[in-house]
């Protein structure tokens, strides 16, 4: 399998995996349990705090087999399709590159068709603040009274740029910057999974530098992990320079050992 950056590999797959946004995930989970879901949601907040992630998890809860339910099966084919971006019924639109009235009219025309295989047809529009005023206006009517099988989920870092008429038709959730201690703990968990040794102070420094954004913290961890692994490999090569392979019965031990026995600590 090709290499996946940490931020993608560790994208939370269910509400309980999302860090520091319980005020949002808990409310959504309750709405699902009480069968009181709205038809339009707006997720606002700083970059890399979980807006797209929460929208996708919510989509899985709504469209999973025998759903809507919060505790969907990880192996449910429909949830896997959504996580991979292959579901015909979860349409992700980048508001930055589809911002005009034509694109929104097209969307409006497809809204009336029933979902292909799931309960709901879900439109996730990222960077929704980028839509033009005309595009927003074209969306209004649909947003007011969409067919029962349609759900809209909007995400934005700049809610103040979204027209008030759109805002008033959505349930709004404001995501928070994630506290440094929580980011640091999450990085420690990832480092352990990735078998990278980084001390707590370094993780805390990364977490603080990320200013509440988990994605930024994970990207920094990715970079540091690469450097550490490179250094570790260089260390291994230097160990081999000191005890070249074939230079006696011990040499094999050195090349295989990679960092455990006292001899490998030469580098
Ligand atoms: N609250 C969180 N808990 C755990 N991981 C998170 C959280 N928020 C973000 N991440 C990590 O950051 C990555 C990006 O998150 P996501 O795409 O949800 O951010 P976003 O808020 O939509 O950002 P943007 O405004 O840049 O679109 C995720 O794949 C995940 O690895
Ligand atoms: Mg996003």
CA–centroid distance, 249 to ligand 2, in Å, is 56
For 180-242, CATH gives: 1.10.8
pLDDT score for 262 = 34
Q: Which of 16, 54, 156, 215 to mutate to test the pocket of ligand 1 (most atoms within 8 A of CB)?
A: 215
**CA nearest ligand 1 atom 29, residue:** 11
Does residue 12 have its Cβ closer than 6 Å to ligand 1?
Answer: yes
Q: Which of 16, 50, 218 to mutate to test the pocket of ligand 1 (most atoms within 8 A of CB)?
A: 50
**CA nearest ligand 1 atom 12, residue:** 215
Atom index in ligand 1 nearest the CA of residue 186 equals: 4
For 6-174, CATH gives: 3.40.50.300
pLDDT score for 240 = 55
pLDDT score for 245 = 44
Average pLDDT, consecutive stretches of 10 residues, N- to C-terminus, the chain (267 residues): 89 98 98 97 98 98 97 96 95 93 91 96 96 92 93 98 95 98 98 93 97 98 89 67 44 34 32
CA–centroid distance, 267 to ligand 1, in Å, is 38
Does residue 156 have its Cβ closer than 6 Å to ligand 1?
Answer: no
CA–centroid distance, 69 to ligand 2, in Å, is 23
Domain 6-174 shares a fold with domain 180-242: no
Does residue 10 have its Cβ closer than 6 Å to ligand 1?
Answer: yes
pLDDT score for 241 = 61
Does residue 220 have its Cβ closer than 6 Å to ligand 1?
Answer: no
pLDDT score for 222 = 95
Q: Which ligand has an atom closest to residue 4 CA?
A: 1
Does residue 157 have its Cβ closer than 6 Å to ligand 1?
Answer: yes
Do residues 169 and 140 make contact, with C-beta atoms less than 8 angstroms apart? yes
Does residue 47 have its Cβ closer than 6 Å to ligand 1?
Answer: yes
Spans of all domains in the chain: 6-174, 180-242
């Amino acid at each position: 399998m090709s290499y996946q950056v940490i931020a993608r590999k560790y994208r939370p797959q269910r509400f309980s995996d999302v860090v520091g946004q319980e005020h949002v995930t808990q409310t959504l989970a309750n709405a699902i349990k009480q069968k009181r879901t709205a038809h339009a949601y707006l997720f606002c907040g700083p970059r890399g705090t979980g807006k797209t992630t929460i929208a996708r998890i919510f989509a899985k809860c709504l469209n999973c087999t025998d759903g809507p339910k919060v505790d969907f099966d990880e192996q449910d084919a429909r949830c896997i399709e959504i996580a991979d971006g292959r579901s015909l019924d979860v349409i992700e639109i980048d508001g930055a590159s589809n911002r005009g009235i034509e694109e929104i009219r097209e969307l409006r025309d497809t809204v009336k068709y029933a979902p292909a295989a799931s309960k709901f047809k879900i439109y996730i529009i990222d960077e929704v603040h980028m839509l033009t005023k005309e595009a927003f206006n074209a969306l209004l009517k649909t947003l007011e009274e969409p067919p029962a099988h349609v759900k809209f989920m909007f995400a934005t870092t700049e809610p103040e740029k979204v027209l008030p008429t759109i805002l008033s038709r959505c349930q709004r959730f404001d995501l928070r910057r994630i506290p440094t201690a929580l980011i640091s703990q999450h990085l420690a968990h990832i480092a352990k999974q990735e078998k990278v040794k980084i001390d707590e102070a370094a993780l805390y420094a990364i977490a603080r530098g990320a200013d509440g954004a988990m994605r930024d913290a994970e990207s920094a961890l990715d970079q540091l992990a690469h450097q550490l692994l490179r250094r570790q490999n260089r260390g291994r090569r230097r160990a081999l320079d000191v005890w070249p392979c074939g230079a006696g019965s011990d040499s094999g031990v050195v090349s295989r050992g990679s960092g455990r026995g006292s001899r490998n600590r030469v580098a």
